[in-house]
Structure 1
Amino acid sequence: MSVDTSAAIAAAEAEMAGFAAEKKAVEERIRDLRSREDFKNGVYFPKEIFEAQQDKLRLETEILFRQNTIRRLRLELG
Structure 2
Amino acid sequence: MNHQEQENAESRSESEAIAALEVEIQEFAAQKQACAARVKELMFSEDTAAGIVHAKEIFMLQQDKLRLQVEMDCRRNKINRIRKFGLANELQNSPPQPDHP
TM-score (norm 1): 0.94
Distance 1:45 1:71 in 2: 39
Q: Which runs of 4+ in 1 moved over 6 A?
A: none
5+ residue gaps in structure 2?
A: 1-9, 87-101
Distance 2:31 2:61 in 1: 11
Query: Deviations 1:3-58 (Å, cap 9, x if unpaired)?
Result: 11111100000000000011000000000000100011110001100110111011
Based on CA coordinates, which of the two structures has the bigger radius of gyration? Answer: 2
Which residue pairs with 2:62 in the alignment? 53
Distance 1:30 1:72 in 2: 34
Q: How does 1:33-52 map to 2 (within 5 A)?
A: 33-52=42-61
The structure with the greater share of residues assigned to helix is 1
Helix, strand or coil for the counterpart of 1:62? helix
Greater relative contact order (Cα < 8 A, sep 6+):
1
Shift of 1:76: 1.3
5+ residue gaps in structure 1?
A: none
The one-letter amino acid paired with 1:31 is K
* Identity value in percent: 45
| Aligned length, in residue pairs | 77
